[in-house]
Structure 1
Amino acid sequence: MAAEAPNGGGLARFPWVIFWVGLVLRLGYMTFAHTWHIRTHWNHFEFGYEMGRIAHSLVTGHGYGNPFWGLSGPTAWEPPLYPWLLAGIFKVFGDYSPLSAWVTLALNCVFGAFTLPAVWQIARRCFSRKVAVWATWIWALYPAAMQYDERWVWEMSLTCFLFSWVLVLALRMRGIGEPGEARAEGATAGRWALFAVLWALIALSNPSLQLFLPACGLWILWGSPRWKRQLAYGTMAAVIFLGCLAPWVYRNWVVFHHFIPVRSDFGFEFFDGNGPGSTGMIREYDQPFQDPVQMRKYRQMGEIAWMQWHMQETKAYMAKHPWHFWRLTPKRIYMYWAGVPEPANHKWWVDLGRSLNFEFASLAGLFGLALALRRKAAGRWLFFWAFALLPVTYYLITVHARFRHPLEPLIDILGVYLFQSAEKSWRVRGFSRHA
């Protein structure tokens, strides 16, 4: 029997104490564990890596470029949203300053904390208040969920925050968890416009998630009784989405004379994941910031020609070794869900604990998704397509634990749903035995 979407998913009933605990814990750990003390070697490269270098280039008047060492010219290596955000912080609080480091990580912590109400809403709308409470507390307190907020000057916290709220919006547009009158409103023109803007921000933060955009939009349309009006609204949203991306695409066309929707680095990333010597994981030693030969070629050829050269090299290698790609792809699929080996020399029990933790969360989330599909829970197909499509890029190119972060709120919610359902089942069996 189909599960009824529970009422009361709104923010008014969100227990804000969880938000404040999550925020204070993140800010406190980041501040007092000194994770904002970022090493200054390699001319501050660890402060945001390529995104930090681009932000530095922006505030020093050299434009959106120079992602590695020195002045190498304009770039589209990274999507622009987080570098622009970093550049604003550098402008106000100092270029690569300790205060900028603290503010950047504090902002990541804010993004992580504001993901908590989204976790609550998704779980409350689709499952129950109990699932919502547990899932939100886990996201507030779970160290693995907090690590990207507290340590990484990168886009993961921002992307996860945006993606979580786009899921909440999609559920609202389908009327899931909405009270009667609000359910009738459904996917209004305003909500479609907000949907488009959120997805544009996601595209400018991490374009890999765009594989899920068509499925998300079609899922909203599929459940609408007034499909002609909704199709018109959906078309309007597509125009708004493309309009939000247009200035960046136009800039890339003017600068590079090539159509680059968001970022330019596919050729190199595909080479890094599938070319000669590839193992399916990121090979930092082969990237321009570590390899002087690659850096010299990058400067001499220019970014687009250098990317095209790497793509040609990869195609030639794959033609000679056709099974190499097919051997690495199952390995990447496994590592996406079971964890990527750490290059650092940790104690064996540290690596074992980390691996077991990652695998346990994956299995709980996957089994929770299977249970939601079996019991016809509200929002189940939205979750299914997120699980199916978000990892595809990484299955085919390269894999890292951080790439899974936007999906982890759903893994958390569905894992809690699995165990909460098992608890109910045990209680029913116990009652039956004693009846």
Structure 2
Amino acid sequence: MIETLYLFLLCLMIYLFWLFIRRPANWLAAALGGAAGLAVLARPPALFLVPVFLYHFWRAKRWRSAVLLVVVLLAIFIPWTWRNWQVYGEPMPFGAAGNFNFWIGNYHGGNGEQSPTEEHIQFAAKYGVREINSESLRQFKIFLRDYPAEFLKLTLLRVNKYFSIFRPMGFWFYLRGPGQFLFILSSAVTSVLVFILALAGILKIVATRDKRLYYLLALTVMTPLIVFITVVETRYRFPIYPLLAIFAAYFIVSLGSRFKWRSEKLLWLAVALIFLNGAVDLFLNIGLIKERLNGFF
């Protein structure tokens, strides 16, 4: 339910921002601040998109619009922060257990996924929210200090898994056997098409220097940043799909009435990059993928 609401709010943010770029108005800035505030309440990583909006306001010298956006966002955000302060004794603006992923995604010998160890499970069962948040950040800092190279490796692995075509959705608890496999197969086909066409669209934007869409590129870069340094899960790709769909549509429209698929070099470059990334993930995690496939038949 929260994922669906977050996707709606994310799409609303993109739509309002694009409207503002075309026809600047203070009421649009206020509406954008409202959508951003609600999106942050649903999923805190939405806050990473706000600097992109403010950068445009700064370039356009829309100071009043920038103030309106921030004021409305804070008006929505502060009551939740105050509530957590009253309940837990500290502000906790991003939820009660937001720091836990920093720990379970970054430890010596980890794989960068949301797979807590026995130590994580026991600590979470024994202590409260304040202690979990504090200890999670402490352990994350220790890991960064003692294993910087391993943190870099885990970050690269998370980037690889995030965009891997061998990480489809469909591992739902209410599906079993062939039915689940068909659902996963349809998800995989969709992921392949969206990733390839979106990357081709991004490459075309870069090649043609279409500055109109640079802001969408910036939003696309900012969307998964927190995932790359915490934990990667397939469902965490949901927020980037609306943006990728825009780039995919841009590429298809750019071909015009003549579908020059075979002669489109950027398309084949995108195919090569997406499948190469997937092949790396397949090579590194072949055991896990086999284990999951064996459960379908």
SS at match of 1:338: coil
Matched, 1:422 2:255: yes
Letter in 1 for 2:31: L
SS at match of 1:174: helix
Q: 2:40 aligns with which of 203, 211, 215?
A: 203
| Counterpart residue number, 2:81 | 249
Number of aligned residue pairs: give it: 255
Preserved CA contact (<8 Å) 1:270 1:314: yes
| Counterpart residue number, 1:165 | 12
Q: 1:328 aligns with which of 147, 154, 166?
A: 154
SS at match of 2:48: helix
Shift of 1:297: 1.3
Structure 1 residues not aligned, in runs of 5+: 1-153, 176-185, 431-435
**What pairs with 1:26-425 in structure 2 (closer than 5 Å)?**
154-175=1-22, 186-222=23-59, 224=60, 227=61, 230-283=62-115, 291=121, 293-298=122-127, 302-339=128-165, 340=167, 354-355=187-188, 357-377=190-210, 379-422=212-255, 424=257
Deviations 1:338-396 (A, max 9, x none): 1537896978x867775564244212212212213433547401211111110110111
Which runs of structure 1 show a deviation greater than 6 angstroms over 4 or more consecutive aligned residues?
341-347, 349-353
SS at match of 1:395: helix
SS at match of 1:201: helix
CA RMSD, 1 decimal: 3.1
Shift of 1:285: 6.5
Shift of 1:216: 2.1
Preserved CA contact (<8 Å) 1:272 1:282: yes
Residue 296 to residue 333, structure 1, CA distance change in 2 (3 Å): closer
SS at match of 1:409: helix
| Counterpart residue number, 2:283 | none
Identity of aligned residues (%): 19
TM-score by length of 2: 0.74
Residue 417 to residue 263, structure 1, CA distance change in 2 (3 Å): same
TM-score by length of 1: 0.52
Preserved CA contact (<8 Å) 1:338 1:362: no
Residue 310 to residue 168, structure 1, CA distance change in 2 (3 Å): closer
**CA distance in structure 2 between the partners assigned to 1:392 and 1:262 by the alignment:** 16
**Structure number with larger C-alpha Rg:** 1
**CA distance in structure 1 between the partners assigned to 2:21 and 2:255 by the alignment:** 28
Preserved CA contact (<8 Å) 2:84 2:91: yes
Preserved CA contact (<8 Å) 2:111 2:154: yes
| Counterpart residue number, 1:37 | none
SS at match of 2:105: helix
Preserved CA contact (<8 Å) 1:252 1:260: yes
